[in-house]
Structure 1
Amino acid sequence: MTRRLILPALLSTLAVVLAGCSGASDDGPADLSQVTLRVGDQAGIQQAVVEASGALEGTPYTVEWAQFPAAAPVLEALRGEAIDAGIAGDAPTLTALSSTDRIRIVEATRSPSQGGLALLVGQDSPIRSVADLRGKTVSPTTQGSIGHYLLLRSLEEAGVPPAEVNISFLQPVDAAAAMNSGAIDAWSTWDPYTAVAQQESGARILRDAEGLGTGLTFLNANTAALEDAGTRAALTDFTERYARALQWARENPQDNSAIYATLTGRPAAVADLMADRAQRATEPLSPELTAELQEVADRYVGYDVLRNPVDVASAMEDLGAPAP
């Protein structure tokens, strides 16, 4: 008889504990006024566009931005739960997904101009083709970045084995200085760094990303944020507001360019170029987009960049679906 009484009591206690861990509440929707959504950005660009558009007006939650020089540290902060969501391109997102199952893609955007992604050489460089990079030193910016992917795709297209190129991973500021001084022969990077190098240093585009990259950028979230009812609700709302901000940028090119001029302190020619190439729009997390990204993942595995294969479909999180 004693055992019959103990077992139901244990099961009842366990049910209470699991309900508490789920982040759900029987008292109604989460109180978003108590939620702070921490969003990782690169060089302040997306924050500036979102704020200038007024898209965050009236949010019942607080948005706290964190700035990073490139995607790799954004994703590292996301993995470590220092932020709840972060913006990064396709290649770095896949690099992160290959080493953790705690990150999900929650929103996709695409830039037709691929955000200025390009393989650059100095103004007076004798290098005229990707094939000329044999024996040269190239920085693809950070490891696993979109710059890294573009370099590897460009070398593959030109029939140059990566082993025949000296690859040096440098942060953007260091890479710019190294190319200007001749310490490296080429640099694979993206805006604002591409625009600045072109307009202020006369850098030439050796190969752009047309036909080689996807132009996709993602808003990623960690599973801790998605499992919390309040943070998930705030993130769902934020994705809609972010889409409106990008639409505002497309419809107000002059105002958008002014943002880049103020943010970078660069001349109008640099700001205009950056703003034009930054135009993007959201896309649904469709089977077609998933397949496209899976192709990039499989190529990255073939390049021996990813630690492990990535199943892209399992990393997609539809925020319109019920919370887990």
Structure 2
Amino acid sequence: MNRLALPAVLAAIALVLTGCAGGTPADDGAPVDLSQVTLRVGDQAGIQSAVVEASGALDGAPYTVEWAQFPAAAPLLEALRSEAIDIGIAGDAPTLTALSSTDSIKIVEATRSPAHGGLALLVPGDSPVQTVADLRGKKVSPTTQGSIGHYLLLRALEEAGVPAEEVEISFLQPVDAAAALNSGAIDAWSTWDPYTAVAQQESGARILRDSEGLGTGLTFLDANTAALEDPGTRAAMADFTERYATALQWARENPAENAAIYSELTGRPAEVAQLMADRAQRETEPLDDALVTELQEVADRYADYGVLRSSVDVGSAVEDLAAPAGR
């Protein structure tokens, strides 16, 4: 499985898949030569790219895929906004954070994880903190600003009746946050897998509050508008989203092989990899009115927390790849 030996963070890999040149009609009816298209896909920690590769979902794709790796959603979305990548995966909260400051990003596919991808508020195993209310006066990292970890922390504090200003919030990148939790520099950490699983299994971290009832478990494939307006790139993205759904199905149907991916990808013990793989299972969901309404509620709450720069109209941020550009 050497082909799955991808770095856990900040790696840059290129997966070149060529097939028949096949033509797809452009908006003006002229065929698009997908063999000339390179689709730049943003991933976090190499996980999705490894699953896609192992599943064989991209076999025969008539375009080239280049993967770019990021440690979290915030830098991925910034790369998307700056058009360094065409499409990338990000959770609901960071997607909304990005949408509040730009109209150059659209949601093109939705997936949901019943286990919310391991999103949880963690404390050291021997911490005297037993409830979220005990975090008053404590130092907590919600990982990056505007992340799903940030949203979970604010929701958990609200649930516990603790004003956010009564907690010292320190935004740290995952590696720094893990070190800070282990050293006692922070009292709690709100994060997601693979970081949650590693902290649980290797550092004995304890889940203070999971995201059940507080989060949606939604993750999106987001695209920039420049890529969507290009007929060739748009056609490649439409095909890629279908293949990505196939990869997710493969992961659900092959749990042992999926867990092996996590083990080799992260270099972690089998029990850590299995936990991550189990909690990573997700399925695609239609971008319908019900989902838009659900996400709008998250956006409105996040705006009320003062995290979003401006309000977000979720409906206008959803793009149907099956429709012609601009419609």
TM-score (norm 2): 0.91
Aligned counterpart, 1:134: 136
1:131 deviation in Å? 0.1
Aligned counterpart, 2:57: 55
For the pair 1:251 / 2:253, whether they are aligned, the reply is yes
* 1:1-324 equivalences in 2 (<5 Å): 24=26, 28-324=30-326
1:321 deviation in Å? 1.4
Aligned counterpart, 2:16: none
AA at the equivalent of 1:143? Q
AA at the equivalent of 1:119? L
Number of equivalent positions: 302
% identity of equivalent residues: 82
Q: How many angstroms apart in 2 are the aligned matches of 1:25 and 1:133?
A: 55
Runs of 4+ in 1 over 2 A off after TM superposition: 23-28
1:322 deviation in Å? 2.1
The structure whose Rg is larger is: 1
1:129-157 deviations in Å (ceiling 9; x for gaps) = 00000000000000000000000000000
Closer/same/farther in 2, CA of residues 114 and 25 from structure 1, 3 Å limit: closer
Q: How many angstroms apart in 2 are the aligned matches of 1:27 and 1:107?
A: 25
1:24 deviation in Å? 4.8
Unaligned runs of 5+ in 2: 1-24
Alpha-carbon RMSD across the aligned residues, in angstroms, is 1.0
1:28 deviation in Å? 2.2
Q: Secondary structure at the match of 2:108?
A: strand
Q: Secondary structure at the match of 1:298?
A: helix
Aligned counterpart, 2:14: none
Q: Secondary structure at the match of 2:155?
A: helix
1:71-95 deviations in Å (ceiling 9; x for gaps) = 0000000000000001000000000
AA at the equivalent of 2:173? Q
1:25 deviation in Å? 6.7
Q: How many angstroms apart in 1 are the aligned matches of 2:26 and 2:304?
A: 42
1:183-234 deviations in Å (ceiling 9; x for gaps) = 0000000000000000000000000000000000000000000000000000
Q: Secondary structure at the match of 2:143?
A: coil
Q: How many angstroms apart in 2 are the aligned matches of 1:135 and 1:29?
A: 62
Q: How many angstroms apart in 2 are the aligned matches of 1:53 and 1:26?
A: 35
1:236 deviation in Å? 0.2
1:266 deviation in Å? 0.2
Q: How many angstroms apart in 2 are the aligned matches of 1:142 and 1:120?
A: 15
Q: Secondary structure at the match of 2:61?
A: coil
Q: How many angstroms apart in 1 are the aligned matches of 2:141 and 2:232?
A: 41
